[in-house]
Homo-oligomer: A and B are copies of this chain.
Amino acid sequence: MHPELKSKVMTAQEAAALINNGEILGISGFTGAGYPKVLPSALAERAEKLKAEGVDFGISLYTGASIGDECDGVLARAGIMKMRLPYQSHADVRNSINKGQTEYIDMHLSHSARLIRMGFVPKPTLAIVDACEVTPDGKIYLTGCGGNTPSYLQTADRIIIELNTHYADTLIGVHDIFIPELKGNVPIYSAGDKIGKDYVQVDPKKIVAIVEVNLPDSLKAFAALDDDSNAIAGYILEFLAHERKMGRLPEDLPYQSGVGNVANAVLGRMAKDPMQAPVALYTEVIQDSIFDILEADKLIVASGASVSYTISGQEKYKANAHAKNWKNKFVLRPQEISNNPEVIRRLGVISMNTALEADIFGHVNSTHVNGSRIMNGIGGSGDFARNCLLGFFMTPSVAKGGKISAIVPMVSHTDHTEHDTMIFVSEQGLADLRGLTPIKRARLIIEKCAHPSYRPLLQEYLDYGLKNSVLHTPHTLDKAFDFHKRLMETGSMGV
């Protein structure tokens, strides 16, 4: 650290004392990467003391996306998270939201920074950022995520830095910081184009504290690849190969893949396939599976809002970043750029996202259980599904040992409409819905994607509508949620 900045160095406890009641914290962090790791605990301790003194202490928390337990978990359990946006996936946060203790605003990831800069959502009062380096003239080098950090640093009045030496060696230089204007072009014409700077410029007077740490992001290892994920990946790759063979899909389109096992399986299988052409990613989250592609010498470039590596992935990255010049194959961007509708449309992205439930007419629910209980949030799935060239929604056909069918007569909450969904995939098969009427979609989804144990009930619903309802989208409103009602009453959607 530069000597000029030493005067701002303090302990986490001292820095936490600078956080006022009611403050809006705009923090770094996206899918478990690049979030502040020690301030939140110190803040929770401070809140505990203040509560003992009778103060109802609370803060609002703005992030990039989901973050680690050291932040989301700690603040939710402390009961001081009054508001949260734009995405979360921590059980304690979710519970707090569904109990009405935390207000949650579920936004497209590409929308949040712009809405804040425009002033429609209150601006953060204090930015807290996990950073590799900071210079006396206010250049901040971010760690493992672009996220919304540049906009939070720009709009907040005060900044606290967790100066984290853990990633300085591997992550300085991979960022491309570009904050778009309200209107105007985002001049990315190829997944790897760099259009900004590799640091965020702030007024150094706004930096009120620096807390020194040396801590890795803590991401859990993925579950072992299961048969369902493997089957879904297989259908997708088979379909892509077929489309290419038919001359309907160029080889050089970049991929976006959602977070989790199936996305990992798709990329892992691409790496192993000797026929697979080199791959570019224009995605949201870069996960461990990227190393399979790298090691197979098939990576053109990986652009994303974060590198969300497990500990083993981080070790791989660290070991190889310089030796193999891999660092030059990564670009980390603000999430309004990684998920930018303009760029996604222009690049012709092939998009893969997970559905929580889907209905027979082609609508997808990504967020709510039984229409009311929030799970994680829409994340970037809408940014990509709506603007991609080719989009998959993936889900195992059943959950909870068969008690829940992912395919239902009518979704209990719609995040992606029939107009935006293209291809559904479960471990049962793949349904290409493009250019089909609602009735044809329903027949195909029941046949290809539903679990055999739920097909008769779904077919019965469709048949009833075909006899008694209107023949464009033959719903029957007083039976549309029977699956959900049975689940709430009996614990199973089945009969």
| Chain A contacts to B: CB under 8 angstroms | 97-100, 103-108, 111, 115, 118-122, 182-186, 189, 246, 248, 250, 253, 340-342, 345-348, 363, 368, 370-374, 378, 382, 386-387, 389, 410, 412-420, 432, 434-437, 439-440, 465, 469-475, 477-478, 480-481, 484-485, 488
Contacts and interface: CB of A to CB of B under 8 A. Distances in A.
A366 B436 CA distance: 19
Nearest to A437: B103
Contacts of A372: 465, 469-470, 472-475
B373 A470 contact: yes
A477 B481 contact: yes
Given A183-B347, A372-B469, A107 B419 contact: yes
A4 B368 CA distance: 65
A473 B434 contact: no
Contacts of A115: 434-435
Contact of A341 (B250, B387, B465, B471): B387
A477 B370 contact: yes
Given A183-B389, A372-B472, A419-B378, A105 B485 contact: no
A248 B120 contact: yes
B98 A470 contact: yes
B246 A119 contact: yes
Contact of A250 (B99, B182, B363, B370): B182
Overall SS of chain A's interface = loop
Contact of A119 (B182, B248, B389): B248
Nearest to A112: B435
13 contacts: A97-B472, A98-B470, A99-B471, A120-B434, A182-B253, A182-B389, A183-B346, A183-B347, A185-B346, A186-B346, A341-B345, A368-B472, A371-B477
A445 to B, nearest CB: 16
Nearest to A434: B120
A485 B480 contact: no
A371 B480 contact: yes
A435 B248 contact: no
A150 to B, nearest CB: 19
Given A182-B389, A368-B472, A371-B475, 13 more contacts: A97-B471, A105-B437, A115-B434, A121-B434, A183-B348, A184-B189, A342-B342, A370-B470, A371-B477, A382-B419, A412-B475, A415-B419, A477-B485
